[in-house]
Homo-oligomer: A and B are copies of this chain.
C-alpha cells in the first residue's frame, strides 16, 4: 500500500474550494473559513464528549446523517458556547447564511466555532465574513482556511496524501487547529478533512471513527476536553474510484490514507501545544491490553510533573512511574523498565546508574520519547503530548484579554 504525502490540505482533493477571511471576531488575522464541495459529498463527523456542547456542535450533530453535505462554515475568536437559545439561533443563522451564499440547503452545511466561551457572537461580522468568503472560494484557498481556524496556534496545520484505492489515485487532505484544551476523547480541537474518494456514508463514518481513535484521541495537551471539539470529513467521489460500499481492500487503503492525515494533524496539535518547547511521545508497551496501555500512557502524558521535568531537561523518571502508579491500571511495579529515548533509566522498578549527561542531552532534543515497558504482555499504546512551560501559563493566564 503506497501512501504519498503531497503539498496542500483541505483543497488538495478534487472538487473542493475554500477561503479564509478576516471579519473582525479576532482583533487581527483571518477568523472565518468556508470549505465547499462543488458536488454533493458524503459527510462524517465526530464531536466533543463534553456534557456542555457548544451550539454549532448541537447543530452539526443534527445535520449529520440527514443526507449529502456540501459545505463547512467555521469561525475562530468566539466558541458560541454557553450562549443559551441565542447561541442556537446564531449557529442556525450561520448555516443559513452560508447556504444562501453558496446556493445549497441549510442542512447541507456543517457549522463549527472556536474561541472564548460565553460571549455572544457578533452576527453582523459573521454575516459579512460569510459573504466575503463565499465570493473568495478558490481551489488553492486551503491555506487561508487553515489560518482562519487558528486561535492560540502558532502555526497552520495542513496535510494531504494520495493513496491508491482500487487502482485509482484518491486524495485526502485536512486542516486542524488546537493547542490548548486538548485531551483525547474526541478530541478537543477542530479538524476538517476532504477527500475525492467515492465511499458510502456509513463506511466514511466508521473509517473516521477508527482514524480519530488512533490519532486525535491519542493526544493531550492539558487534559481539558473542550465544548467545541469537532472533526468533519467530506467525501465527494470526484476521484471516480468504484464506490467503497464494504470493508474490503479499497476501504482499508482509504482508511490507511485517512489515518496518515489524522495522525499527522494530531501530532501537529501536540507539537503546537500552548507554550510548548518540546514534543513528547509516551509509549507504554508490554501491556496486557491496548486500553490499559493507553490509559497509563495518558496518565503519564497528562502529569504536570512529568511535563515540567521534560521542560527542565530533568531525567526525573520517578515521576513517570508515579504517574503509572496512579493511572488506575493494574501492574507489577517490580517488573517495570523505563527508557528516555534509548537510555534505560530504570529496570524492574528500580533506578539504574544511568548516564545523567546523556539523559540530559536526550531531553534537550525537540522530540522526547518516553517508554515504559510493563513486561506483562504484548500490547502497546502511544500518546503524544508536549512539555508544560512558563509560556503555557502566560498564554492562559489572560486568554480573554
* Residues of B contacting A185 in the complex (Cβ-Cβ under 8 angstroms): 326
Q: List residues of chain B with CB within 8 A of the CB of A317.
A: 117-118
Known: A82-B333, A333-B51. A319 touches B117 (CB 8 A): yes
- Report yes or no: A308 in contact with B392, Cβ–Cβ below 8 A: yes
List the B side residues contacting A392 at CB < 8 Å.
304, 308, 393
Q: Is the CB of A350 within 8 A of B304?
A: no
Q: Which of B87, B303, B314 contacts A400 (CB 8 A)?
A: B314
Instruction: Please report the C-alpha to C-alpha distance between residue A304 and residue B326 in the assembled complex, in whole angstroms.
Output: 19
Chain B residue nearest to A326 in the complex (CB):
B225
Given A314-B399, A330-B51, A322 and B393 touching (CB < 8 A)? Answer: no
**Contact residues, A303-357 vs B (CB, 8 A):** 303-305, 308-309, 311-312, 314-319, 321-327, 329-331, 333-334, 346, 348-351
Whether B222 lies near A322 (C-beta < 8 A) is no
A275-314 CB contacts (< 8 Å) to partner B = 302-305, 308-309, 311-312, 314
Q: How many Å lie between the Cα of A120 and that of B318 in the bound state?
A: 12
Nearest Cβ distance between residue A360 and chain B, in whole angstroms?
A: 10
Mask of A196-236 contacts with B, CB within 8 angstroms, 1/0: 00000000000000000000000000111111000000000
Q: A316 contacts B52, CB within 8 Å?
A: no
Collect the chain B residues with CB atoms within 8 Å of residue A330's CB.
51
Contact in complex: B84, A321 (CB < 8 Å): no
Q: Which residues of B contact A401 (CB under 8 A)?
A: 312, 314
A side interface size, CB within 8 A: 70
Determine whether A396 belongs to the interface, using a CB cutoff of 8 Å to chain B. yes
Distance in Å: Cβ of A260 to nearest Cβ of chain B: 29
Chain A interface (Cβ within 8 Å of chain B)?
Answer: 49-53, 79, 81-84, 86-87, 116-120, 180-181, 183, 185, 222-227, 302-305, 308-309, 311-312, 314-319, 321-327, 329-331, 333-334, 346, 348-351, 388-390, 392-394, 396-401
- Assess the B52–A322 pair: CB atoms within 8 A: yes
B350 A224 Cβ-Cβ under 8 A:
no
| A387 to B: closest C-beta gap in Å | 9
Q: Report how far A304 CA is from B314 CA in the complex, Å.
A: 22
Contact A226 B322 (CB under 8 A): yes
Minimum distance in angstroms from A223 CB to a CB of chain B: 7
In Å, the complex CA distance between A329 and B331 comes to 28
Contacts of A304 in B (CB 8 A): 222-224, 304, 388, 392, 396
| CB pair A81 B318 closer than 8 Å | yes
CA distance A117 to B326 in the complex (A): 15
Residue of B nearest to A398 (CB): B312
Taking a contact as CB atoms under 8 Å apart, the answer to whether B393 and A388 are in contact is yes
Contact between A52 and B321, CB atoms less than 8 A apart: yes
Known interface pairs A304-B304, A346-B118, A396-B309. Does A51 touch B82 (Cβ–Cβ under 8 Å)?
A: no
The 8 Å CB contact of A84, one of B51, B84, B348, is B348
**Cα of A119 to Cα of B401 in the assembled complex, Å:** 45
Contacting residues, chain B, for A321 (C-beta < 8 A): 52, 82, 117-118, 227
By beta carbon, the residue of chain B nearest A222 is B304
Within the assembled complex, what's the spacing in Å between the Cα atoms of A388 and B329?
27
- Distance in Å: Cβ of A328 to nearest Cβ of chain B: 8
A316 in contact with B349 (CB, 8 Å): no
**Can you sample 21 A-B contacts with CB below 8 Å?**
A51-B327, A51-B333, A53-B325, A79-B318, A82-B333, A82-B350, A83-B350, A118-B318, A119-B351, A222-B303, A223-B303, A225-B322, A225-B325, A227-B321, A304-B388, A304-B392, A308-B393, A312-B401, A315-B400, A316-B399, A389-B393
Chain B residues whose CB sits within 8 angstroms of the CB of A396 once the complex forms: 304-305, 308-309, 312
